[in-house]
Amino acid sequence: MIDFARSFFTWHGHPWKRDPHYKYAGGFVGELGDQYHVRLKLDAALQLRNESTGRAYDLYLWAPCRTEYTIAQRNLFQIPSGEFRVVFGRDFEAPIARRPSGDSEDVKRRSLAGRWQDYRIDVRSYPQFAEVTDGATVVEATLANDLLNVRHTYREPQRGVTVTYEYPAELINLNARGHQFQVCTGPVIVPDLATWDGTGVDRVFLAEVACASFDWVEFILRREIEASDADKSWLNQVRGRDRRELWDPNNQPPGYAPANVRPTVYNETLEFAVTTTFMRAPNP
């Protein structure tokens, strides 16, 4: 049972160098040579197990932040504002989908090596927990304010992979008299198994998750949408520093200018027959 509240990804950046084109590359506004550390809490976990080799590949979702300027004293948020989230394994980062599951995207997982001077993944577990597979005990544990994680497992035999989700039950609805529950929480990581190659995936989805039984789960996937022309007039309006500002407007990098921020919605649903286990730990 993962202790998500005490599990972190931490990195130490390389000494800062001037970008050849962008004045605020990466949103950094410190001095040349500065190095900084970042720590992010883990929000959810996903395991992909290759059934032919038995090897497991773990992925984690780190907590979100709005795009910001670092290290600054004022004008901290970037406007237009986006969301910074990453899904990563021990050695690579898995791109988060922008499109629905039926649309392909030209994305590949990326190695973490060299991106930072060093990084650390610190996944901690509860020393004592009990597995729960009946509604009455889920109700009891919830009303006792115990700590609860949810774990779903299902197989994709045609691809030879077993998928396991784990996440904290941050919101749970109860009908105590009927021993009924409904978890609704997220985001969690949903793999695009069409990109599974036996060692990892090249795309994942962010999704909210809901379950009301031990044998069924539903996900609703996040995707980007195009804002209306009327909304773009304020959505793309820069305030303060401009993340896309160049040192020299006459020396533009290839592909300039970067795409504007797009809003996201949760719309597409996926459903799976699963084996679900709640994990219960005492709340000190």
Q: How confident is the model at residue 38 (pLDDT cuts 50, 70, 90)?
A: very high
pLDDT score for 282: 94
pLDDT score for 194: 96
Using CA atoms, how far apart are residues 259 and 20, in angstroms rounded to an integer?
19
Using CA atoms, how far apart are residues 84 and 210, in angstroms rounded to an integer?
24
For the stretch 120-139, pLDDT in tens is: 999 999 999 999 999 999 99
DSSP letters along 59-87, please? EEEEPPEE-B-BT-SS--B-BS--EE--E
Using CA atoms, how far apart are residues 99 and 264, in angstroms rounded to an integer?
10
- Evaluate whether 65 touches 84 at the Cβ level (below 8 Å): yes
The per-residue pLDDT of the chain, averaged, comes to 95
Tell me the mean pLDDT in the region 36-59. 96
Using CA atoms, how far apart are residues 189 and 45, in angstroms rounded to an integer?
7
First to last CA, the chain: 16
List residues bridging with 154 in a β-sheet.
Answer: 163
- With 90 as the cut, is the pLDDT of residue 71 above it? no
Contacts of 115 (CB under 8 A, 6+ apart): 11
Q: What percent of the chain has pLDDT over 90?
A: 92
Binning the chain into helix, strand and coil, the percentages to the nearest 5 are 10, 45, 45
pLDDT score for 210: 98
For the stretch 100-112, pLDDT in tens is: 999 999 999 999 9
Q: How confident is the model at residue 223 (pLDDT cuts 50, 70, 90)?
A: very high
Q: How confident is the model at residue 97 (pLDDT cuts 50, 70, 90)?
A: very high
Q: How confident is the model at residue 258 (pLDDT cuts 50, 70, 90)?
A: confident
User: Where in the chain are the domains?
Assistant: 4-281
Lookup: tokens for 115: 């991106």
Angstrom CA distances, 113 to 18, 49, 118, 145, 203, stand at: 21, 23, 8, 41, 19
